[in-house]
A and B are shown apart, each in its own frame.
Chain A
């Protein structure tokens, strides 16, 4: 399953990763060979096997509905680039 150059540019954009156009070809080749390797799995007969959602053979523990977190806004905002009036500030997002 070869990965095209366009796909590399699209998924890198979706993931907000900067990929140099010169390197895109290399990524396409690498990813294509990784997918080809995994593709061997298609030969296995998986009829009657439930799709695996998690490698651990266990199920989720549930937490009691209790508020135990206290307000630590000051600590969190001390490491934020910009804050004002208790809000985190980010570059303007226009709807």
Chain B
């Protein structure tokens, strides 16, 4: 079998978190009654003129600066012409030859400790379309234009990715960037962050690209991974059967877990772009650029570096924490309020907390265990009141809303037993009651030692201090 190589590029659409639309003063709030936020400009009524929103420009520029891209001093809006009922003007205002953000780049972690730089071809500003509702009426399509005119940036990558995993890492990185920058809520269910994947296959080592397909509107990381994996396997099958890949647009069906060709008109690609005469060129002056530069927050890379320096975390832990801005903030607030080592805090945030959030499908902002609650819990491990194992039980109790750490320790009697005399009594009892195991141990079976530790822990419900139990058992069995 020939060795095939997949080549992947992504187009990511990000809704910008402005109050009003890109070219009109209607609200962009999600979830309003249909068409109550679609004004004359959004409806494309005769005689209206688009007026550009400063905030949309500022956010796009901010993104460009964050990915070290060249931000254009002068950019131009163009009309992308096609007919679809959720696009009332008959064209979408977008950018073509002179986008606001030119070439940039982003480094992604490959998970094996290595890194890869993904090129960003461009990012341009455009307006979103409305929504078509096909299901609700027998012979008609319902149109809701509330979303029409919501500002988007479309971020186009170079075909630099070679696997679905790389594509997902890149998409997650872009997602974390827009959240850090505060330019989008990144909400994928509501469509604020969605992606089209261009996939082609070529024999490994070949320079020319194979014929590509474009899979549209992927709105979760999992779907992106699955759709790309499906496309790679499908295209390899097509090529190995001696056929050719057809250049086409496809849709991913999550239920069937497959991609299918979109049954739409073939000439749809002929967009006949031209500069929009309703909009003048946008000039971004050096002062404006400088002002926006000053507003840039600490980005994931810088934050990870600071975490290794300030808290002594290793690079991997730091990388994991900064993936989400909220997780990074949660970590820092906890670390500041506890005597526990930062490494332990990091383990709890990426371990117990993360697992509990995933299980209940919650965002960190709505975690039932706040950073100050976690800090107190870790303090109780640190001062010897509880063991790490009991702490995990208490964490689950706090998660279930049973109170704070100290009240749970009191009400459940979970205080660690550190009284040497008390532990010694238990050690003696366990040794006395298990003469056979004592024989085994004395004849050289070291493994039996664990049995004795386990017995003491069992009697105390895990509350005995493990270090003391170990020490006293060693002395007793010597």
Contacts and interface: CB of A to CB of B under 8 A. Distances in A.
Contacts of B312: none
A16 interface: yes
B24 A87 contact: no
Interface string A65-95: 1111101110011000010111111111111
Specify the main secondary structure of chain A where it touches its partner. Answer: loop
B477 interface: no
B81 A84 contact: no
Given A84-B137, A88-B35, A91-B140, A63 B52 contact: yes
A58 B54 contact: no
B282 A60 contact: yes
Contacts of A72: 39-40
A14 B143 contact: no
Contacts of A61: 51-52, 280
Nearest to A58: B280
A93 B134 contact: yes
A86 B85 contact: no
A92 to B, nearest CB: 5
B283 interface: yes
A54 B248 CA distance: 35
Given A58-B280, A87-B133, A93 B37 contact: no
Interface in A13-58: 13-16, 51, 53-54, 56, 58
A84 B36 contact: no
Q: Which of B25, B53, B56 has the most CB of A within 10 A?
A: B25
Given A60-B282, A95-B263, A86 B36 contact: yes
Interface of B: 18-20, 24-27, 33-40, 43, 45, 51-57, 74, 76, 81, 83-85, 97-98, 132-134, 136-137, 139-145, 251, 262-264, 267, 270, 272, 275, 277, 279-283
Contacts of A62: 52-54, 57, 282
Contact of A14 (B37, B81, B251): B81
Interface of A: 10, 13-16, 51, 53-54, 56, 58-69, 71-73, 76-77, 82, 84-95
Contact of B26 (A56, A69, A77, A87): A69
Contacts of A59: 74, 280-283
Contacts of A90: 85, 140-141, 143
B140 A69 contact: no
Contacts of A53: 76, 98, 275, 281
Contacts of B20: 65-69
A75 to B, nearest CB: 9
A86 B267 contact: no
B399 to A, nearest CB: 39
A95 B264 contact: yes
Contacts of B142: 84-85, 87-89
Nearest to A54: B280
B35 A60 contact: no
A94 B279 contact: no
Contacts of A64: 54
B35 A87 contact: yes
A92 B139 contact: yes
Contacts of B283: 59-60
Given A59-B74, A62-B53, A62-B282, 5 more contacts: A15-B81, A60-B279, A72-B40, A85-B142, A87-B136
B51 A63 contact: yes
Contacts of A76: 35, 38, 40, 43, 45
Given A86-B35, A86-B36, A95 B262 contact: yes
A58 B281 CA distance: 8
A89 B133 CA distance: 10
B281 A54 contact: yes
A60 B281 contact: yes
19 contacts: A10-B267, A53-B98, A54-B280, A59-B281, A60-B283, A62-B53, A62-B282, A64-B54, A67-B27, A68-B20, A69-B20, A69-B39, A73-B33, A73-B38, A87-B133, A87-B142, A89-B140, A92-B137, A95-B263
Contact of A65 (B55, B132, B137, B277): B55
Contacts of A15: 81
Contacts of A94: 134, 263
A63 to B, nearest CB: 5
Contacts of A77: 35
B51 A95 contact: no
A69 B24 contact: yes
